[in-house]
Amino acid sequence: MSQELAEAVAARLRAWTADDVATRLWAKDGSLWAASGKAPEDLARWMGWLDLPETMRSRVNELGHLADAVRADGYRRAAVLGMGGSSLAPELFSRTFPDGDVTLRILDSTHPDVVRGFREWGASARTIFCVSSKSGTTTEPNAYHAAMAEVAPALDFLAITDPGTALVDVARSQEFRGILEAPPDVGGRYSALSVFGLVPAALHGVDLAGLLDAARRMAEACRRPPNENPGLQLGATLGEAARAGRDKLTILTTPRLASFGDWAEQLIAESTGKQGTGIVPVVGEPLADASAYGTDRCFVVLSLAGDEDESLDGLAGQLESAGHPVQRIGLQAPLDIGAEFVRWEIATAAAGIVLGIDPFDQPNVQESKDATSALLQRYRERGALPAPAPIVAEPGLAAYADASALGDSPYSVEGAVRQLLELVRAGDYLAILAYLPMEPPVRDQLQRIRQRTRDALGTATTLGFGPRFLHSTGQLHKGGPPSGVYLQLTAEPAKDLPIPGWEESFGTLIAAQALGDLESLQRRNRRVLRVHLASLEEGLDRLLAMVDGALAGSVQA
């Protein structure tokens, strides 16, 4: 860390000590974020997450009895049907604790091929389905429920939601196995230690008492003065690094903690990406030599004892030697994830103080939902979604962009890709927005694009699979700094899948979500190109070759 950044962090912690920030945070004093322009009482009503390490202890026996009853009734699989805050903590539990009592999987894609495969998996053995939605009206979980209800009776479903939602009404009328209600003063991305995270964890066999004990210990540590406070120290570092131009927070983890980055990505991006500012989380990026990373980066390295990675440890040392800010966090046991939930939630809220924004709202996430709803309404009225004309098309590929986004009209799809990459400047990041199946071969090809782009241009890269990223980084893309360059990818599904009781299919739903996302980015004059692939495998091969050709030209230039 540079001397200048270290001094800025130290000054911030001194100021927070003088302002008694730690005490005020735990008192839920919304005036800590007065610079956001929001009324203190409006901010304070979203701070119930601070109480979860303590209050959820009273529900450990209840959730344990539920999990025991599910196993006793012969369920061997548990499925979470949810998005964003409803899905990312359960996914982290499923991957960090791989040998659970009940196999836990998460459905957070509307791609027909993915939903079909998931439904077949759920129908092949007795599965308990958790329909998880804070509002109870989220489009994706409702569509998943409709699809899974064709292969499972109502007693195979649990509803996880806030009190009094439409999902509660559905669960009661259809006689779901159970309804688990969450505290309404906890936002989705801060809900890992509420029933949204703990019900799937309990079904999977995670030790909830041990998890909450770790969370309580961290909560106590985060009541200390700022210089001794793990959450405020991390928040001051992330916030001041972003103010100094190091806003690409690159999270590196040992293998078993890989999904922690996905959880933290949503927390940070959705909390800070607004009012033209924000922290850009970079997760899952292939490792490189320290020289490949630009001066717009700061790093957090998380490791789990027994899951060491020598290459990661060596890279952390190289990054420190090169002057990059590097925070190292070591977990002694998987249950220490409970502590990290608390540390990172407090750090994110504290970074919001530094950036002068409200870390608890997500205005552009709702905008994306509204855009999708409007497109689906048009589909119901006219029988088709809008069909914008491509700027260039060839057999198997088509490119779409605003007429002014790329400059001169390209003569080929490869030319359009080259023009997009030529727009990348120092301090930018390339975001790949893939409305594609999140399968290993697809991810591998997209990771190659990330790696080659970063190595050639020195730019940070992110990868999001739609529509799940709309509930996390989608807020950052639209409300955050104008430093993103976006490559949206869509493809024809192998076969569409109807949504029972709905006019639209899953193919129509994901197409509307992709189109709504594209239009929202274009309205903000973001640098975005959509490439549509007629054939997924062949199209990705061709796209990778195009990126290689474009990058070779840029390096030579």
Chain segment 295-321, per-residue pLDDT in tens: 999 999 999 999 988 889 999 999 999
Confidence of residue 557 (pLDDT cuts 50, 70, 90): very low
Q: Are residues 274 and 392 in the same domain?
A: no
Q: Identify whether 425 is part of a domain.
A: yes
Q: What is the pLDDT of residues 139-150, one digit of tens each?
A: 999 999 999 999
Confidence of residue 556 (pLDDT cuts 50, 70, 90): very low
Q: Are residues 280 and 393 in the same domain?
A: no
3-state secondary structure at position 226: helix
Sheet holding 326-331, edge to edge: 280-283, 248-253, 297-304, 326-331
- At residue 341, the pLDDT reads 98
The residues, ordered by sequence, that sit 6+ positions from 105 with a Cβ below 8 Å of its Cβ are: 77, 78, 79, 80, 94, 118, 121
Helices (H), 87-155: 88-96, 112-123, 139-148
Q: Are residues 372 and 462 in the same domain?
A: yes
Domain of residue 97: give its range: 51-206
Q: Identify whether 66 is part of a domain.
A: yes
- At residue 46, the pLDDT reads 97
* pLDDT above 90 for 101: no
Spatial contact of 108 and 131, defined as CB atoms under 8 Å apart: no
The dihedrals phi and psi of 504, each to the nearest 5 degrees, come to: -90, 160
Residues 144 and 364: their CA atoms lie apart, in Å, by 23
Per-chain mean pLDDT for the chain: 95
Q: Are residues 530 and 461 in the same domain?
A: yes
Spatial contact of 546 and 517, defined as CB atoms under 8 Å apart: no
The residues, ordered by sequence, that sit 6+ positions from 53 with a Cβ below 8 Å of its Cβ are: 193, 212, 215, 216, 218, 219, 338, 342
What integer is the mean pLDDT of 415-432? 96
What integer is the mean pLDDT of 42-51? 97
C-alpha torsion 252→254→257→262, nearest 10: 30
What integer is the mean pLDDT of 320-329? 96
Q: Identify whether 46 is part of a domain.
A: no
Q: Are residues 198 and 258 in the same domain?
A: no
Name which of 105, 161, 150 is nearest 128 in CA terms.
105
Number of domains in the chain: 3
What integer is the mean pLDDT of 125-153? 95
Q: Identify whether 433 is part of a domain.
A: yes
- At residue 308, the pLDDT reads 81
Q: Are residues 129 and 178 in the same domain?
A: yes
> Where is average pLDDT lowest: 170-174, 376-380, 405-409, 413-417?
405-409
Name which of 285, 243, 339 is nearest 7 in CA terms.
243
* pLDDT above 70 for 20: yes
Q: Are residues 35 and 58 in the same domain?
A: no
* pLDDT above 50 for 415: yes
Confidence of residue 546 (pLDDT cuts 50, 70, 90): very high
What integer is the mean pLDDT of 101-115? 96
C-alpha torsion 215→219→221→223, nearest 10: 180
What integer is the mean pLDDT of 489-517? 95
Position with higher pLDDT, 96 vs 367? 96
Confidence of residue 364 (pLDDT cuts 50, 70, 90): confident
Q: Identify whether 220 is part of a domain.
A: no
Q: Identify whether 342 is part of a domain.
A: no
Confidence of residue 19 (pLDDT cuts 50, 70, 90): very high
Confidence of residue 173 (pLDDT cuts 50, 70, 90): very high
Amino acid letter for position 513: Q
Among the candidates 307, 322, 355, a domain finishes at: 355
Q: Are residues 32 and 129 in the same domain?
A: no
Residues 468 and 475: their CA atoms lie apart, in Å, by 12
Q: Are residues 190 and 258 in the same domain?
A: no
Q: Identify whether 216 is part of a domain.
A: no
Q: Are residues 430 and 535 in the same domain?
A: yes
- At residue 263, the pLDDT reads 97
* pLDDT above 90 for 367: no
Q: Are residues 13 and 101 in the same domain?
A: no
Q: Identify whether 195 is part of a domain.
A: yes
- At residue 209, the pLDDT reads 98
- At residue 407, the pLDDT reads 75
Spatial contact of 299 and 281, defined as CB atoms under 8 Å apart: no
Helices (H) and strands (E) in the chain, counts: 21, 15
The residues, ordered by sequence, that sit 6+ positions from 325 with a Cβ below 8 Å of its Cβ are: 1, 2, 5, 237, 241, 246, 298, 299
- At residue 554, the pLDDT reads 63
From the CB of residue 228, how many other CB atoms can be counted at a distance below 10 Å?
14
Q: Are residues 515 and 370 in the same domain?
A: yes
Residues 452 and 552: their CA atoms lie apart, in Å, by 10
Q: CATH number for the domain including 148?
A: 3.40.50.10490
Q: What is the pLDDT of residues 452-471, one digit of tens each?
A: 999 999 999 999 999 999 99
pTM as predicted: 0.96
Q: How far is CA 456 from CA 300, 504, 513, 554, 555, in A?
A: 23, 42, 31, 8, 6
